[in-house]
A and B are shown apart, each in its own frame.
Chain A
Amino acid sequence: MRRATYEKGDRRVGYLWVLPALAFMVAFIGYPIVYNLILSFQKVDVMNIKTAVKPFIGIDNYKEIFSGDVLSTSVMNTLFFTIGCLVLQFSIGFALALFFTSGFRLQIRLRGLLTVAWMVPSTVVALLFKFMLSPSCGILNYILVGIGILREPIGWLTSSSTALWGTIIANTWIGIPFNMILLTAGISGIPDELYESAAIDGATSAQRFFWITLPLLKPAMYAVLILGFVYTFKVFDLIYVMTNGGPVHATEVLSTYAYKLSFERFHFSEGAAAANVLFACLFIVALGYLRLVRGDEEIRA
């Protein structure tokens, strides 16, 4: 009985402690989201942004953007871009993480050097890759033509079929160190005793990898993938600088589309609706992640 009241009092104090954080979240995270949601159901454009008359028009903005083909192109591009980047940067990052935890001299220094890619501002990376992928002066075409893989240079960013790959290559380059560092931390966290005892029991290195490293690395992998997904899904500056969504929407992603609707064409409500589509996609992914993590914890418990 006494314990129950104690808990109750504790909980009340607890609410008090979370109050500042809650207020912060409501003001700085909740308000923009709600405002954007309201905006997406109103008709706000060049004619009435400054007037008080902002009529509600239901889901007309969503109808409008879904009726065009740019939104579906953007959604598909965003998904393709995200999954393409995740697969590449995760597998390469994982391989490098394994390599850099194998225990050789200079490994910490070399690993540090590799993280430079992640520290370079993405607009700079975008410009670098724009030059490297150029058909007239880019090094990639020079090499590929030089060793005979290509007969003539490809305009990576100017052809609709390769432009998205061009941006994926650039973003993968940024993402590899991020994956590598987090996975390295995860691998270093696995106690050496486990490997030693497995080795004594006669486990091969493949067995040790699949039965020790992979299962124990699962939480780190989830974290890397979900963070990578969110980070990649809302890509903006890289694509804005490299291709500006072009040629002809071939690299248009949800964020660039929403930006252009709002700030280049002044269709503020439609821009808000497009941004909400982006938000909804990420929200679903986040819910899925929470479920996955919770399920995992329950199994372990």
Chain B
Amino acid sequence: MRKFLLLSIGLVMLAGLCFAQPVEIKVWHYWGGFEAVPFQAVIDGFNASQTKAKAVAQYLPREELNRQYTIGLAGGNLPDVAMVDNPDHASYAAMGLFLDITDRVKAWEGYGKFFEGPWLSCTYQGKVYGVPQNSNCLALYYNVDMLKAAGVNPPATWDELAAAAKKLTKSGVYALAISAIGNEEGTFQYLPWLLSSGATITKLDSPESVKSLTFLTNLVKNGFMSSEVINWTQADAEKQFATGRAAMMVNGPWNLQAVQTDAPSMNWYLAKIPKDKKYTSVLGGENMGITATSQYPNEAWSFLKYMSGTSVMESYMTTSGKFPPRSDVMNGSDFWKSDRLLKVFADQMQFAMPRGPHPRWPDISNAISTALQEALSKTKTPGQALKDAQVKVTKALSS
């Protein structure tokens, strides 16, 4: 009898152990290198904060991650929480990758606390399919010593930029480095120029658009900007700047650490991207959503809530060099106002425009980056390149 009692107690305990076993939440992301550490801290923090779920992060390079999502959609393996680049979010929502979390979000303390741009990028047809994980934008990096030697101030307008570029260009040194590669990165870098001219993405053949593309094309034509920009990623542009082969570059806050590491003794600072009619930047950042196939949507939602809580978000952003998508976090802290470098980005951030959101954004983006490449490589005139791009955009918007 006693033996039986012991056995049954043992069994109950065993069963209890099994039940208490936390469920595993798979989180896929593309934070490698410098960026992996602060994100892992969020994951560890979540796992330590409760016992119901255990988040497991899986890194994949960005292109590979996108490929895995599309393959997974056609009937394969998907995570519980998926990270996407924010302009792609609408496409993936349309494809059915993400769970509609509108109701959960509306009952949450964070609802209404996010900046509009990042928040809209998570929505599709009025429903919410995720939460913004971080925000960023582009600004102008400049080499203080080179500008001083050339006797110019950091340019604030296109005219000043063109004038400064002439003085800054020397043998082996270009005035400006950007990334004009033929993909989303190129579009991302071109948009501040396009939008500053007063042009819009849905009317690419307007005189304003042509003016913006002509301006960049002339920088290459005059030798102020390398013709290689059409092959450069933003990481390549950073290398040019850090090695002193470019006096200025347009880049994001995620490269602050890279410049500090690559060129510890260089004297450099930041400014807003020179404007034509108005200051603009482009809103970058990533979103995270629960996949429609997740078996544990409740636990996945707890993770998203934990990640987006004010204190967790603040410590993640301050350690990762990224910007909080929540306005109460951004305004509630002195960090972004006091940091010598980040305050410039924070200033630029208020001019950052979102891309899309539109499920056909990849087509629109492709049209824009193709036009950029055609003009900068002198394959087509800026006017012709943008006229052809407009045809593609019209088609994408109507399909």
- Which A residues have a C-beta under 8 Å from some C-beta of B? 46-47, 49-51, 130, 134-137, 155, 157-160, 243-248, 250, 260, 262-266, 268
Contacts and interface: CB of A to CB of B under 8 A. Distances in A.
Interface string B182-199: 111000000000000000
A47 B231 CA distance: 32
Secondary structure class of chain A's binding surface, majority of residues: loop
B172 interface: yes
B381 interface: no
B360 A46 contact: yes
Contact of A135 (B63, B94, B228, B379): B228
Interface in B338-387: 359-360, 362-363, 366, 370, 373-374, 376-377, 379
B226 interface: yes
A249 to B, nearest CB: 8
A265 B182 CA distance: 13
Contacts of A157: 228, 231
Interface string B237-267: 0001000010000000000000000000000
Given A49-B96, A246-B230, A247-B182, A265 B366 contact: yes
Contacts of A135: 226-228
A266 B70 contact: yes
B228 A134 contact: yes
22 contacts: A46-B94, A47-B94, A47-B95, A49-B95, A50-B73, A50-B292, A130-B231, A135-B228, A136-B226, A137-B245, A160-B379, A245-B182, A246-B373, A247-B230, A247-B231, A247-B373, A247-B376, A248-B230, A248-B373, A263-B67, A264-B362, A266-B362
B74 interface: yes
Contact of A243 (B231, B362, B366): B231
Contacts of A247: 182, 230-231, 373, 376-377, 379
Interface in B196-236: 226-228, 230-231
B157 interface: no
Contacts of A243: 231
Nearest to B69: A263
A46 B67 CA distance: 13
B310 interface: no
A158 B379 contact: no
A159 B91 CA distance: 33
Secondary structure class of chain B's binding surface, majority of residues: helix
A179 B182 CA distance: 34
Contacts of B240: 136
Contacts of A244: 181-183, 231
Contact of B95 (A46, A136, A160, A262): A46
B40 interface: no
Contact of A50 (B95, B370, B374, B376): B95
Contacts of A264: 66, 183-184, 362, 366
Contacts, number: 90
B91 A46 contact: yes
Contacts of B231: 130, 157-158, 243-244, 246-247
A248 B245 contact: no
B363 A265 contact: yes
A262 B70 contact: yes
A179 to B, nearest CB: 29
Nearest to A135: B228
A155 B228 contact: yes
Nearest to A243: B231
Contacts of A262: 70
A158 B73 contact: no
Nearest to B364: A265
Contact of B359 (A47, A50, A158, A268): A47
Contacts of A160: 377, 379
A150 to B, nearest CB: 15
Most central of A46, A134, A264 by chain B CB within 10 Å: A46
Contacts of A136: 172, 226, 228, 240, 245
B362 A49 contact: no
Given A46-B359, A136-B172, A246-B231, A266 B95 contact: yes
Contacts of B362: 46, 264-266
Contacts of A246: 181-182, 230-231, 373
B180 to A, nearest CB: 9
Contacts of A155: 226-228
B96 A50 contact: yes
A268 B227 CA distance: 33
What are the 7 closest A-B residue pairs judged by CB atoms, nearest first? A50-B96, A246-B182, A247-B377, A265-B362, A248-B373, A247-B230, A158-B228
Contact of A248 (B182, B183, B359): B182
A49 B94 CA distance: 9
B71 to A, nearest CB: 9
B370 A248 contact: yes
B190 to A, nearest CB: 14
A158 B230 contact: yes
Nearest to A70: B370
A49 B72 CA distance: 11
Given A246-B230, A248-B182, A248-B373, A49 B74 contact: yes
Interface string B91-117: 100111100000000000000000000
Interface string B168-187: 00001000000001111000
Contacts of B63: 263
A50 B91 CA distance: 12
Most central of B74, B182, B184, B374 by chain A CB within 10 Å: B182
A130 B236 CA distance: 12
Contacts of B377: 158-160, 247-248, 250
A119 B94 CA distance: 43
Nearest to A245: B182
Contacts of B74: 49
B331 to A, nearest CB: 36
Interface in B126-182: 172, 181-182
